[in-house]
Amino acid sequence: MKGRQAGWGSAVLDRFQNPTQVLATGFGSVILLGTLLLRLPIATTSGESADWVAALFTATSAVCVTGLAIVDTGGHWSAFGEGVIAGLVQVGGFGIMILATLFTMIVSNRMGLRARLMAQAQTSTLTVVDARRVVRNVIVFSLVSEAVVAVILTGRLMIGYGESFGTALYHGVFHAISAFNNAGFSLWPDSLTRFVSDPWICLTISGAVIVGGLGVPVIFELLRSWRRPSRWTVLTRVTVVVTTLLLSVGTMVFLMTEWRNPGTLGALKDSDKLLASFFTAVMPRSSGFNTIDVSQMESSSWLVTDILMFVGAGSAGTGGGIKVTTLGLLAFVIWAEIRGEPQVNIGHRRLTESAQRQAVAICMLGVALVAIATYVLLIMTPHSLDQVLFEAVSAFSTTGLSTGITPDVPPAGHLMLVVLMFIGRIGPLTLGSALALKERIRRYELPEERVIVG
């Protein structure tokens, strides 16, 4: 029995030495399966097989919980196709939340991963039970959250809009899955613009997006210690503070910029403007719903949305982007450098140098990836820089918002966005975990040299 445990421990150790292969293979396999299912004639309303590019793009967008679409989700796909999309979103959301939670627990533990696995392989510790408990908690929490959102949406659609129970339930469940997993797929061709003045719909969807974006570790810690912020971990503290700051600033910026814009907030009542601005600030966390026409937004609002999308959601959440923790850590690094402090401190904790390097690496690689994709798309399409940049950031951050140019991009551009969504989905998680778990001990030090920076 002990030999079998040791063999299992060694196998897990080998797996975690290269988490990129595990994630890439898993997500790639699900995308392939989703593409084949969406290619079936039964998956479209016309009864004809969907185009390969459309099926691949939609499957990738669903598994990577992005929400970008080159065909009308509610009009092009049949009930079977929409069910496949919802299933792919659920699988993608489960996968990200489970793996992100496991990585968060392992990386944040005082003992390194290798030491933990070696010790567990040689003793009778309950490694498998711990992993199963985490998986169970994530699945139960996700399903309960989605059920609550689905009940609220179903009731509102029945009472406020006269939909039958079956139709309301169908729409409620689909959009609950899409919202909690930060996917942004909608069965209505105008996304959620018809509900721009409905706080029941908008606030419920926003709440689901925020909770899904924060992640299970942060939510559970908030539930346990919400009255004692001083006991929060650095992950929870940075995630909550930065998320709150970005939501507040985003709401105010959109409110001021779009206040008189007749294409967005100009025609709404003041109270509805505030609701729409808040909703618009929440969605770049990594969900592609919209209650105002994104294509009619001011260029300055597009730029702010680019920034919010690039940052994304929490490290253990379903959202994409470089993550709010990365931005928070970089802010503390800059603040410590400005003050001339030799160490970077967050509350009563000191930030390790490896964490600082990881934050810089993730941010710079994200910038490079978006820049390259934007350049390629500019060559492929006749659209302006701000539109193409918006599309590239949305795909990389798996947000799903669009200025409306997605269907007009040529097939080669669609494949480019597929690659960008795939890398953007697995990239930050695998890169962050790989960098955190791959620490080498240098047995010598080179002579130090001061270099002029700036």
Q: Which two tokens stand for residue 63?
A: 């598994």
Q: What is the pTM of this model?
A: 0.85
Query: Would you call 368 exposed, middle or buried from its count of C-beta atoms within 10 A (0-12, 13-18, 19+)?
Result: exposed
* Helices marked H in 216-352: 216-225, 234-258, 270-282, 299-311, 324-339
Q: How far apart are CA 195 and CA 144, in angstroms?
A: 24
Give the pLDDT confidence score for residue 315 in this predicted structure: 77
**Residue 224's pLDDT is what?**
85
**pLDDT per residue as tens, the chain (454 positions):** 444 444 444 444 444 445 566 677 788 889 999 999 999 999 999 999 999 999 999 999 999 999 999 999 999 999 999 999 999 999 888 877 776 666 655 555 543 444 444 333 333 333 444 667 777 778 888 899 999 999 999 999 999 999 999 999 999 999 999 999 999 899 999 999 999 999 999 999 999 999 998 888 888 888 888 788 878 888 888 899 999 999 999 999 999 999 999 999 999 999 999 999 999 999 998 888 999 999 999 999 999 999 999 999 887 778 888 889 889 989 999 998 888 888 888 877 788 887 788 888 888 889 999 999 999 999 999 999 999 999 999 999 999 999 999 999 999 999 999 999 988 887 765 655 555 555 556 666 767 666 666 6
Cα–Cα–Cα angle for 57, 59, 62, rounded to 5 degrees: 105
Phi-psi region of 411 (alpha: psi -120 to 50; beta: other; left: phi over 0): alpha
Tell me, rounded to whole angstroms, the distance of Cα 307 from its chain centroid: 14
- C-alpha closest to that of 113 among 435, 443, 351, 444: 435
Calculate the CA dihedral of residues 67, 220, 432, 130 and round it to 10 degrees. Answer: -110
Tokens of 75: 């009009």
Distance CA 117, CA 65 (A): 31
pLDDT for the residue 446: 67
Helix residue ranges, H only, 123-269: 127-161, 165-180, 199-214, 216-225, 234-258
The CA-atom distances, in angstroms, between 79 and each of 8, 43, 231 are: 42, 7, 47
- Residue 17 amino acid letter: Q
Return the closest-CA partner of residue 180 out of 152, 204, 154, 151: 204
Which of these, 395, 252, 251, lies nearest to 320 by C-alpha position? 395
CA dist., res. 155 & res. 379, Å (int): 48
Number of C-beta neighbours around residue 4 at 10 A = 8
Helix, strand, coil percent content, the chain, rounded in steps of 5: 70, 0, 25
Secondary structure class of 262 (helix, strand, coil):
coil
Q: Are 277 and 256 in contact (CB under 8 A)?
A: no
What is the distance between the alpha carbons of residues 237 and 331, in angstroms, rounded to a whole number?
14
